[in-house]
Structure 1
Amino acid sequence: MIAYVPLMDFSMGQDAAGLRGELRALIDEHLPPGFLGAFTDDPADLATAQRFCGILAERGLLCLAWPPEYGGRGASAWEQTVVREEMWAHHEPRGAQYMGVNWVGPTIMRHGTAGQRERHLPPIARGEVIWCQGFSEPDAGSDLASLRTSARRDGDGWVISGQKVWTSYATMAQWCFLLARTTKADRRQDGLTVFLVPMDAPGVEVRPIGCLMGPHHLNEVFLSDVRVGADAVLGTEGEGWRVVQEVLSFERVGIARYARCERLLHDAPAALGDAWAEAPDELRVRWTRALTHCRRARLLAYRVIALQDAGTVRPGDAAAYRIAVTRLDQESAEVLMDLAALGGGTRFQEEVEDHFRYSHAATVASGSIDIQRVLLARELLAVS
């Protein structure tokens, strides 16, 4: 069994401990010792993640909190949080599936037609399909409402043209959750619509962008007169901004980044062995502070999850968590790199280096930290 035990016991219901044990046993049994995630230069790592998703799905663990009629077990949001924490703590062995599980599927449940739910939810629950997110554009990243990708009516369907960028997993995805402008409006947030677009549709072109994090993470997607049917529209035409705001609050808390930070920090003394005793006092203080900040980020995440569960989450709630966990990602990475320089063995050093690379993207992934501060300030000051 993996030796990691949280330093603090957060009460998440009596089934949480057993669920953690079950997940860790599956990780030990089915993941190779050096696994660092699905998105490496070795195609075998993606294949491992896809097999692992199938194993989770067979046990009803992939979409644990989904209703049974959609392939879940109707578990609590807290049990699903346990799954998020254990997956991210151990290099996200679901690969890109977390996207479908955390927010694509639930959004289709809330806003999709019966046909869309029937078509899309079962493959997600079985771990068979990968989604990507078509939001950011070259001139519309943090200011998403200024996007230029357009969709115009064409008979019974739509024709979509434009460009998306920074699209994670686009090279492997079968579907794209895409935001496009369908009408011009005085307010930029109006006139936007969400489309569910097959990535193999004629006119869709994906170009990978090389980056520090490895393959599959960043891509450009070009849409040249891509034709989709009327059934590709998710929710109400022109009200995509409302759907996207809901999506983003779920996405920003759906990745339990604090869990990996905490595990690596907790593992450091044992990994370093005798070298831990030689660590400078200043570095030990930074290590302790980072662990404290792990607890802060965890508690902020739990607050947002409780609000989501009650249906009362606001953009500022998710933004506060996002700011805290982004700062934690980078703070812990710096501390861990300094500790790894003292020793710790190959496996520990590889995990730390992987975490360090990911931390560089933390300030812009899922919305830049500057925009999160704006969202939080607006809510605190009640500014629209």
Structure 2
Amino acid sequence: MDFEMTAAATTLRGELRDLVREHVPDDFLGAFTSDPADLETAQAFCRLLAERELLCMSWPPEFGGRGSSAWEQTVVREEMWAHHEPRGAQYMGVNWVGPTLMRHGTAEQQRTHLPPIARGEVIWCQGFSEPEAGSDLASLRTTATRDGDGWRINGQKIWTSYATMAQWCFLLARTTRGEKKQQGLTIFLVPMSDPAITVRPIGCMMGPHHLNEVFFDDLRVTEADVLGTVDDGWSIVQNVLAFERVGIARYARCERLLHMAPGALGDRWDSLPAELRGRWARMLTHCRRARLLAYRVVSLQATGRVTPTDAAAYRIAVTKLDQDSAEVLTEIAADLPVTTAGVAEVFRREVEDHWKYSQASTVSSGSIEMQRILLSRNLLAAR
């Protein structure tokens, strides 16, 4: 299949790069650092994209989008991740919260939540993982108990990114016990401002805002906060994970940094060991492989035929690429002088940041071991 981008997509890519150059500082390494100015840069950039109808391009116009193709939205996804995600946490609302609400939400839920996402005004967090239910998500213990005309939620979530700044939580809780642990789960749309919710940050090398514990103590919600059908939340989770696992174009940042390497090293490039330059070339090949796998899933999503197996295969390839490329780039950057400036210093800082984030890539959004199990089971079942 030919995945060559259209002329419109190429023009869009140039427009996005121009906007990044004009509105994002050269030293920007993401929104979630110890400097509040980085978060404000991301929030302002989100609003700018929204004003130009570039934030949620593929969304239908009635939900605040432009009705563009999935391929144009893929270009946005690639350029944003390649440049350290200047949308901040908005990618979560754009990539999977919004599309999930379009598919499963009520008209009132869509009216309430989709316009603020499309305007870049709201941050969401995901209440999935728990201390004893990470990759085995269906083993979660957070409960939602019937209480009059609503529900009371009690439990704990962990590794919740952006919980300190999010306005809403996409929360998975157990509402009944079924024969299988995937049964009896329900999605709730929960305001993080409720005093029954407590957030405790978890220190990590990725910096503030990324990882948190979230506690729910008799949180009162109503039927209007339920997404989809009660007890059928697992089917929604499968949709969410498919969107989420393909939604981050990790290969785009890997490829950009690999292409930066020769220029950053200058004359030193030719003196690198041949083995290291060979690994560098191999990583560029792996970038192309991951990109094509992503494009295959995008094409399947456009027809509604994507399966968890397709997403798992891509996820395995791209997370391994993230880590393997980070190791190669770190070795290349080690050849730079201790004191550098200009492109070389930018390259060094970006490589350090890339390595730091890559360490969690084979764990977040479902560990690589679970992806391999999922892929193997489906391949065996298809025989």
Q: TM-score scaled to structure 1, two decimals?
A: 0.97
Question: Which of residues 317, 323, 339 in structure 1 aligns to 2:310?
Answer: 317
Whether contact under 8 Å (2:323, 2:355) holds in the other structure is: yes
Q: Distance in 2 between matches of 1:10 and 1:183?
A: 45
Which of residues 22, 25, 28 in structure 2 aligns to 1:35? Answer: 28
Confirm whether residue 375 of structure 1 aligns to residue 374 of structure 2. yes
Report the counterpart of residue 70 of structure 2 in structure 1.
Answer: 77
Instruction: For 1:133, give the aligned amino acid.
Output: Q
The answer to whether the 8 A contact 2:45-2:86 is kept is yes
Relative to structure 1, is the Cα distance of residues 164 and 252 closer, same or farther in structure 2, using a 3 angstrom cutoff? same
State yes or no: 1:112 paired with 2:85: no
Match of 1:137 in 2: 130
After TM superposition, give the deviation of residue 10 of structure 1 in Å. Answer: 5.3
* Distance (Å, rounded) in 1 between the aligned partners of 2:371 and 2:3: 26
CA distance in 2, matches of 1:10, 1:250: 19
d(CA) in 2 for partners of 1:12, 1:239: 38
2:158 counterpart (165, 170, 181): 165
Q: 1:261 aligns with which of 254, 261, 272?
A: 254
Identity %: 73
Quote the Cα distance in structure 2 between the aligned partners of 1:105 and 1:326: 24
Residues in 2 aligned to 1:267 and 1:346: alpha-carbon distance in whole angstroms: 12
**Residue of structure 2 in register with 1:295 after alignment:** 288
> Which one of the candidate residues 319, 324, 334 is aligned to 1:331?
324
Q: Deviations over 1:279-334 (max 9, x none)?
A: 10010010001000000000000011111111011111000000000110000000
3-state SS of paired residue (2:7)? coil
Q: Distance in 2 between matches of 1:36 and 1:339?
A: 20
- Give 1:14 shift: 2.2
Q: Distance in 2 between matches of 1:379 and 1:239?
A: 22
* Letter of the structure 2 residue corresponding to residue 368 of structure 1: S
Matched residues in 1 for 2:3 and 2:255: separation?
14
- The letter for the 1-side match of 2:371 is Q
User: Given the alignment, which residue of 15, 20, 27 partners 2:13?
Assistant: 20
- Structure 1 runs of 4+ aligned residues shifted over 3 Å read none
| TM alignment of 1:49-88, pairs within 5 A | 49-88=42-81
The one-letter amino acid paired with 1:242 is S
State the alpha-carbon separation in 2 of the partners of residues 48 and 219 from structure 1: 23
Contact 2:3 2:295 in 1 (8 A): no
Give, in whole Å, the separation in 1 of the partners of 2:144 and 2:209. 26
- Deviation, 1:354, is 0.2
Q: What amino acid is the match of 1:110?
A: R
| Residue aligning to 1:236 | 229
SS of equivalent residue, structure 1 residue 179: strand
Cα deviations by residue, 1:183-233 (Å, 9 ceiling, x for unpaired)? 011100000000000001121000000111111111000000001111110
Match status 1:128 vs 2:121: yes
Cα distance between partner residues in 2 of 1:74 and 1:10: 20
- Residue of structure 2 aligned with 1:182, choices 165, 172, 175: 175
Residue 153 (structure 1) aligned with residue 146 (structure 2): yes
Q: Letter of the aligned partner of 1:327 in structure 2?
A: K
Q: How big is the shift at 1:363? A: 1.0
- The aligned residue for residue 6 of structure 1 is none
- Where structure 2 has 5 or more consecutive residues not aligned to the other structure, the ranges are 337-342
Indicate which of 176, 186, 191 corresponds to 1:198: 191
**Aligned residues of 2:123 and 2:167 also touching (Cα < 8 A):** yes
Query: How far apart, in 2, do the equivalents of 1:268 and 1:154 lie?
Result: 59
| 1:4 counterpart residue number | none
Tell me which amino acid in the other structure corresponds to 1:43.
P
For 1:30 and 1:252, how far apart are their aligned partners in 2? 28
Gaps of 5+ in 1: 1-8
SS in 1 for 2:144: strand
Give the whole-Å Cα distance in 2 for the aligned partners of 1:211 and 1:373: 27
Partner Cα separation in structure 1 for residue 28 and residue 144 of structure 2:
41
Q: In structure 1, how many angstroms separate the alpha carbons of the residues matched to 2:303 and 2:258?
A: 33
